[in-house]
Structure formats: C-alpha cells, structure tokens
Amino acid sequence: MFYTLHQDMHQYCLFFFATLLLTCSGCSGPGHKEDHDQTVLHIIHAGSLSIPVHEIATSFRERNPGVRILTEAWGSKAGARRVIDLSTPADVFLSADYMVIENMLIPDHASWYLSFAANEMAIVYTTASRYAEEITPDNWPEILLRPRVSSGRSDPDHDPCGVRTVFTCKLTEIFYKQAGLAKQLLDKSGKNLRPKETDLIALLESGHLDYIFLYRSVAQQHGLSWLALPPELNLGNPELNDWYAQVNIKTLGSAPGKHIIEYGQTMVYGLTIPHKTTNQKLAEEFVAFVMEKEKGQRILDSLGQPPLAPAPTRYFYELPESLRIYGRPNHERQVRH
C-alpha cells in the first residue's frame, strides 16, 4: 500500500479498513479458495465510485443471483498499483481517470480501456463551514485563503482528484491573473492531504475542515453543499481541452522512481479488465452492465455522473468482441509522458 509520509498510525489504520469495502454479504476475503470460483468477481475501483459501484453491483446481482462481488475502493493510482501487485485479485478495474489505465496498466497489465462517465471539480462544504453564506464562484480563492479557514485535498501521487485539484488551482491563477495564487491554495490545502478524495469527507462533516476540493458527483451523493466552478476551472467541458492542457503536473508512475507528466484535460472515467482476471466471462458481463444505457449508465447518471458510452478509444480493436458495441475507434495519440 502507498501512504503519505506525514500520516500517523491512526490515519493509516482508518485508511486501511475504510478502503476494504464488500458489496456483498457473507463474502470471503482475498486468498480463499472460492476467489477463483467463476461466480466470484473482484472489483477494484476509485473511491469516488464507491456509491455508484455499490448500486451497480447490487443491480447486477439482482439479475445474477448466484454471483458474489467483492470490491476495494482506492485512489485510482493506488488501485492501479493493486492491479499491478500480482497477489491481489482483480477482475475489473474502474478508474476516475482513464489515463491511469493508459499510463500505468497498458500494455503490461491490461490491453484496453473504455470511457464510461464524466464529472467535474467543485469546492465542497457544509452549512457549518466558515463563510459558507459568502462564498461565490468569484471569491472562493479569497475565502479559502482566509486565516481561520481550513481546506483539504487528495494526494496527486495516489488519486486523480488530487491531480485535478492541482489543475484547477493552476487554471484559477491563470483565469484570475493572480500570480502565485495556485501555490497559496495548494500549500494551504496540502496541510490536509489524504490518499483519496473520499477520505476528506469525514473531516469535512466533523468540522475539522471547512472546504475540500472534490468531485461534484461525490458531493451530491453524500448530501454535501458544493460550489459550481466556472467551466474554465472545473475540467468538465470537452470544448475547453486546449485551455485545460496549458497546465501540468509531475507525478509518480507505475513503479518506484518512475514519473509521468500529466496534462489538464476533461474529466473522463475509464474501466478495463486486467490481464490477471481469473473470470473473464463474468468480468465482460459486468462491464457490459456498466456500459448499458438502461442499466449501469442510468445508475451513474442518477448519481451525478453523465454517461459517455459509447465513447472513443484508441484500443477499440483490442476490446473483447462482446464489448465493442460500447466503444468506437479513435486513433488520436494520448499524451503519456
């Protein structure tokens, strides 16, 4: 597992137990002989997908009552490292950023990805947050930088939300033409850095934090207040990809000592079936369920994540035959380094 060095043992334990989520009752953990049973499906997913994956898995099991589903929620990059770890079962991997699959899993650990949902960045708070009645799309940087206000974000080396927070802050500096603003926002929120974005919710709800950088869908799913950012800052508008791409960040790659340069772009979630799956057929059936307009896509839409299927993928011809209806060819080169 990967953790920020400043975390104490209490936070370590909370993270460990909070991220091992089981969506089925009475299921055995990894390592039991039934892990290779053709009715057991192991899913590793982004923390921001915890509620959607639970809802999708529940609906899938209602239609397939003999299936048992085990899930783990991580920051997407930490989840990808779980896929890379040969001792960890993984039949389906769902990432908050399709480029995590591109940069960390393809070609050694997966052969393709499908994009399946969108999202956008927001400033999330509660009615008890300091200056909640004053914050607006124009003054939020000034509010977050006030002395008594606390804020938090997720770690960009572990979680795409952390990467996107950096992009949002850098774009905010450019948008409002305030030199040094990004560093101020990131330095302050960096005092409350966590492995994944959903780890911040308890701190917000308990009053330990006033504001967090978070996905709009997660705020909606948890009944939190959120500030909708201008499209130039929220990474939610595909027509602004050239604008988003002017900012970047250097982050850890798939192995120790390896780094990648990530560039701003529209938020797109992606999924794949790792090479090490022991249940290819059931994994394909689950992915198809996620991608179906009246099934998984409807659930995602109801939870604040606009569906994308069918979406372009440059790995269209590597897709399993049963899943090609959910993608379309795209030969554009993606930025990996």
Average pLDDT over residues 210-222: 96
Considering just the CA atoms, what is the radius of gyration of the chain in Å? 19
Do 126 and 211 reside in the same domain of the chain? yes
Do 71 and 103 reside in the same domain of the chain? yes
Q: For residue 332, what pLDDT is reported?
A: 56
* Average pLDDT value over all residues in the chain: 88
Reported as a pLDDT band with limits 50, 70 and 90, residue 253 is confident
| Domain final position from 250, 280, 314 | 250
CA distance 158 to 319: 27
Do 203 and 140 reside in the same domain of the chain? yes
Do 168 and 62 reside in the same domain of the chain? no
Q: At 139, which CATH number?
A: 3.40.190.10
Do 24 and 112 reside in the same domain of the chain? yes
Q: For residue 36, what pLDDT is reported?
A: 60
Average pLDDT over residues 151-165: 95
The verdict on residue 258 lying in a domain is no
Average pLDDT over residues 171-200: 96
Do 79 and 47 reside in the same domain of the chain? yes
Average pLDDT over residues 164-178: 98
Q: For residue 165, what pLDDT is reported?
A: 98
Average pLDDT over residues 28-50: 74
User: Residue with structure tokens 């919710």?
Assistant: 201
Average pLDDT over residues 167-177: 98
Q: Which residue has the higher pLDDT, 109 or 252?
A: 109
pLDDT tens digits along 98-157: 999 999 999 999 999 999 999 999 999 999 999 999 999 999 999 999 999 999 999 999
pLDDT tens digits along 267-321: 999 999 999 999 999 999 999 999 999 999 999 999 999 999 898 999 999 999 9
Do 179 and 234 reside in the same domain of the chain? yes
Average pLDDT over residues 37-56: 94
Q: For residue 272, what pLDDT is reported?
A: 98
Q: Is residue 27's pLDDT more than 60?
A: no
- Total count of domains within the chain: 2
Do 61 and 72 reside in the same domain of the chain? yes
Q: Which residue range(s) make up the domain with 295?
A: 9-118+267-329
Helix-helix angle 50-63:280-291, to 10 degrees: 110
Do 136 and 33 reside in the same domain of the chain? no
Q: For residue 21, what pLDDT is reported?
A: 38
**Residue of 93, 119, 101 lying closest to 266 (CA atoms):** 119
CB neighbourhood size of 223 (10 A) = 8
The verdict on residue 259 lying in a domain is no
**Residue of 76, 47, 45, 67 lying closest to 285 (CA atoms):** 67
Do 280 and 304 reside in the same domain of the chain? yes
The verdict on residue 255 lying in a domain is no
The verdict on residue 325 lying in a domain is yes
The verdict on residue 184 lying in a domain is yes
The verdict on residue 239 lying in a domain is yes
Q: For residue 331, what pLDDT is reported?
A: 61
193-194: strand order across its sheet? 193-194, 151-154, 211-215, 121-125, 225-228
Lowest mean pLDDT among 33-37, 68-72, 211-215, 265-269: 33-37
Do 141 and 219 reside in the same domain of the chain? yes
Average pLDDT over residues 162-178: 97
The verdict on residue 256 lying in a domain is no
CA distance 66 to 327: 29
Do 131 and 20 reside in the same domain of the chain? no
Q: For residue 252, what pLDDT is reported?
A: 83
